Amino acid sequence: MLSLAFSAGLLAQPGPPDRVAVIIGFERQPGASEEALVRAMGGTVRHTYRIIPAIAATLPQRAIEALGNHPLVSVIEPDVRLYALDEYSEAWGVAKIGARLVHETSPFNKGAGLAVCVIDSGIDTDHPDLKTHAGGWDYVNGDNDPADDNGHGTHVAGSIAALLNGPGVVGVAPEAKILAYKILDASGSGYFSNAIAALQDCQAAGGKITNNSYGSSQDPGTLVRQAFDNAYNAGILHVASAGNAAFLTCNEVSYPAKYDSVIAVGATDSGDTIARWSCKGAEVELAAPGVNIKSTYPNDTYATASGTSMASPHVAGTAALVFNCGLGDLNGDGNLGTNIDVRLRMQQTALDWGAAGRDTSYGFGRVQADVAARNCGTQPQPPSVPNAPSNLAVTGGRNYIALGWRDNSDNETNFEVWRCTGSGCTNFALIATLSANTTAYTNSGLKRSTTYGYKVRATNSAGASGYTEVKYATTTAR
């Protein structure tokens, strides 16, 4: 489904072996004369930027040194290959961060109209859960139809803004607008030159947030950093995946998440444990659900995936809710609700896990949409831990056990069902996470004539309640 790529980029794009993909910085904003200079050197111009004074081009290897000595040229840097940052697996994240409470509690914030730029592999524009798609561009094929032939971009977009329309899944900000910019090809790889172009077009289209679920371990250079910095200084909030370890652990955040102007996001599981493969480092700013995330997928389908690619859109969606919640001036610059204010709000309201304060795994903590995007004009008050359910009842059938309990709280986002095997057993494991207000569950596919123990607890972004009493039941022999 999705590629688990996280490696250094190669300089040359597909084509003749003596041609090299580069980004050329100029001492002034480039125009027709600078494009002519590149072509005179045997180059092919791919992008002439406005967001930075630069041109992306492919050049003969022999021309790079000569062009680098020209008085108008400030720097020539490689166009580094970038990759989708993800793994495979399953779903649950929007409820975990409390977004449902933001959707369903007055003033019913769903991120309406807020433009989020998904810089990725495109989007399935016909998907029934992605009707908020509002335009974009395909830099891989050079047209205005950013169709997704990989799946990664569609999955990311669903976590941000899948519609709250009954079937399927829901995004963190289900009424936000998605601007889809395709920079990743069918294999899940692309180039930073197209990422710069996407930043520029996102800014021109009125985008407020960029989601960047891709990266490279290779530093793409000063021009890419300048593009992200310039867009940030113009008011856009950047969110990016911190990166994944292909093997064992990763202690180096990928680019562009490594930049100061970008929020680097690590991935957590349903128990708020940082994923083993989630890259760690001083640049990690926030953590979010990224393990077994169900979301939209091409051809009107749904799929599950894991990775920091899946964590980043949970933060981007939360940012959309915060932008729309009437946030005040948190950084003291005299402007209300800027990208800097939104960033500070998510830092201040994150659920602090790991070492106290900011750390290299969780950053400031796991994002909490319900705290960050509600009562934005007041000091954020975290929700209380829900009350424990009670009156657990269990009944055995031939190969199933049916459970029922009493819901004693009105602020849970999930119920967890835990099970052990054997009469009087105590070694419990989590077997199901259920939505709020659920009071029954059937555990099927069990062995006949076998005793199982059960307990249930409620959870929300503040933590978990106590468990119900433990009850045991035995499946029947026939």
CA 450-453-455 angle, to 5 degrees, is 155
Rounded-to-integer distance, Cα 62 and Cα 87, Å? 40
Q: Is 328 exposed, middle or buried (0-12, 13-18, 19+ CB in 10 A)?
A: exposed
Instruction: State the sign of the Cα–Cα–Cα–Cα dihedral 35, 41, 46, 47.
Output: negative
Helix (H) or strand (E) holding 190: strand 189-191
Instruction: State the sign of the Cα–Cα–Cα–Cα dihedral 343, 349, 353, 355.
Output: positive
Instruction: State the sign of the Cα–Cα–Cα–Cα dihedral 92, 96, 97, 99.
Output: positive
The residue type at 340: I
Q: Are 380 and 355 in contact (CB under 8 A)?
A: no
Helix (H) or strand (E) holding 453: strand 451-460
Q: Which residue, 217, 271, 282, is CA-closest to 243?
A: 217
Structure-block tokens of residue 314: 């949970």
Query: Burial code of 106-122, b = ≥16 C-beta within 10 A, e = fewer?
Result: eeebbbeebbbbbbbbb
- Cite the active site residues: 120, 152, 309
Q: Which residue, 458, 456, 451, 457, is CA-closest to 476?
A: 451
